[in-house]
Structure 1
Amino acid sequence: MKYTSRELKSKKNKNKIFVTAIDLIRKKGYDNVSINEICSLAGFTKGAFYHHFNSKDDLLIQLLKDVDDYYIVEVLPRLEGKTSKEQLIFFIQEFAYCGYGVGVDVVKNLFKSQTNALNDFMNDLDRPFFKILVDIIKTGQEKNVFTDNLSSEELAKYCRTFIWGVFHNWAMEYGAYDIEKKVEMYLNIFVKSLEI
């Protein structure tokens, strides 16, 4: 796909606002960062911010879209050659890595904000994140690795509940422990609950 110079500039501006905002949120906390501060530090007007984002919560939706992109570009190719069980473990570990990378305050605000738009996006079953998860489970069911007592979609929802539950606890405990190690500790028990 070829972009015009105007479209490229718009994408670059949106990305600069986004990166500045996420960096500020990591340093100061979501509630302590204003749109004015984001714009000032990024070198844009509030009008430019609102051209790309409807609200500060839209930054969180963009973050989840970036996670989807990460799964398409980075995670999906690295699933090849792994067993279904290894794929599922890797998939969930990578999500822990993403959560740790954005920081506890950002994760906490994913749960706290819960606007309709954010909630709808987090629960969208057509997101690449969810579709990849369903495919891993469906393949595992076809190979008699994972139970078929529930559909692949239901088991994927179960996995999503596990993932969000661990993240929620981590955020509510203010990141008091290493989320990646905690996920690794729980993961084997969790995955056994899916196996035949």
Structure 2
Amino acid sequence: MPRKAMSDRQKQANRSKQKIAKAALSLFQKKGYHNVTIEDICKKADVSVGGFYHHFSSKGAVFEIVMSEITGKVSSYVRAHPSGGSAREDLRQFLLFFAQCHQEIDLGVLQAWLNPSFCALGDAPDDPSVLEITRLIQAGQSSGEITEQFSPRELTTHLFVGAKGVIYDWCLHAGGYDLLQRMNLYIGIELCGISA
């Protein structure tokens, strides 16, 4: 019985966290990130300021919800798409998927999230996207498809920073062009440059 009560509490806490995040993201989209206060978020979510701080350390921390959604999609993609073909083609497909994940986020939310104060697209060594790009580069170097002139870490950083740049540019242009088409062009150019 106590185990079920704990589970119910966890479910309630998760619902509360989601409610706060949804309210915050909606306000960021409408008013702009810098024009929204924690009090605004609490009022819209109908929670106390203490309730907000129970779930988030700052208003920027609300973007953890967006990041975890993308991380979950990337992890699912990696499990569902084991490599087996060309490492270069696997890299192309993964980076297109990475762009698609970001394209599915509301543009206003994505623009707020990409504010330089967040470093929101993540580039931690344990980020699932970074790990997958590194794995694919290592496979490409092992098969002779990708140059060994640079380490897998250097090539991963280069590709990841460039892919983030394409997404950032798309946001700066308010989604005014086809993100996947632009990402595909970027990937094609980069893959030519790192081929063995």
Q: Specify the TM-score bucket, using the shorter chain as the normaliser.
A: 0.7 to 0.9
The alpha-carbon distance between structure 1 residues 84 and 182, as it changes in their structure 2 partners (threshold 3 A), is same
Cα 1:128/1:16, change in 2 over 3 Å: same
Match of 1:184 in 2: 184
Distance in 2 separating the partners of 1:129 and 1:195: 21
Deviation track 1:94-137 (CA, whole Å, cap 9, x = no partner) reads 121122122333333344242xxx44982311222211221111
TM-score scaled to structure 2, two decimals?
A: 0.83
- Distance change (3 Å), C-alpha of 1:180 and 1:36: farther
Partner Cα separation in structure 2 for residue 82 and residue 18 of structure 1: 40
Partner Cα distance (1:131, 1:100) in 2: 21
Structure 1: segments with no counterpart, 5+ residues: none
- Within the alignment, does 1:107 sit opposite 2:110 as a pair? yes
Q: What is the one-letter code of the residue matched to 1:38?
A: I
Q: Is the 8 A contact 1:71 1:129 kept in 2?
A: yes
Residue 78 in structure 1 maps to residue 80 in structure 2:
yes
Contact 1:57–1:113, Cα closer than 8 Å, also in 2? no
Structure 1 pair 120–15 and aligned structure 2 pair: CA distance change class (3 A): closer
From 90, 93, 111, the counterpart of 1:90 = 93
Aligned residues of 1:30 and 1:105 also touching (Cα < 8 A): no
CA distance in structure 1 between the partners assigned to 2:59 and 2:158 by the alignment:
29
Report the counterpart of residue 65 of structure 1 in structure 2.
Answer: 68
For 1:127 and 1:49, how far apart are their aligned partners in 2? 26
Normalised to the residue count of structure 1, the TM-score between the two structures is 0.83
CA distance in 2, matches of 1:82, 1:36: 52
Unaligned runs of 5+ in 2: none
Segments ≥4 residues shifted beyond 6 Å = none
Q: State the distance in 1 between where 2:65 and 2:166 align.
A: 22
Which whole-Å CA distance do the structure 1 matches of 2:194 and 2:108 have between them? Answer: 31
Alpha-carbon distance between aligned partners in 2 of 1:110 and 1:171, rounded to the nearest angstrom: 10
Separation of aligned partners in 2, 1:186 and 1:77: 25
Matches within 5 A, 1:131-142: 131-142=131-142
1:34-70 deviation line (CA, Å, top 9, x unaligned): 4333333333222211111111111224322321121
| Residue type of the alignment partner of 2:96 | Q
RMSD of aligned alpha carbons: 2.5
The CA distance in 2 between the partners of 1:134 and 1:6, in whole Å, is 39
Please give the residue correspondences for 1:16-27 in structure 2 after superposition, counting only pairs within 5 Å: 16-27=19-30
Which of 30, 33, 39 is equivalent to 2:33? Answer: 30
Q: Are 1:160 and 2:163 matched, yes or no?
A: no
Task: Check 1:106–1:127 CA distance in 2 against 1; reply closer, same or farther (3 A cut).
Answer: same
Amino acid at match of 1:182: R
User: What percentage of residue pairs aligned between the two structures are identical?
Assistant: 26
Between structure 1 and structure 2, the one with the greater Rg is: 2
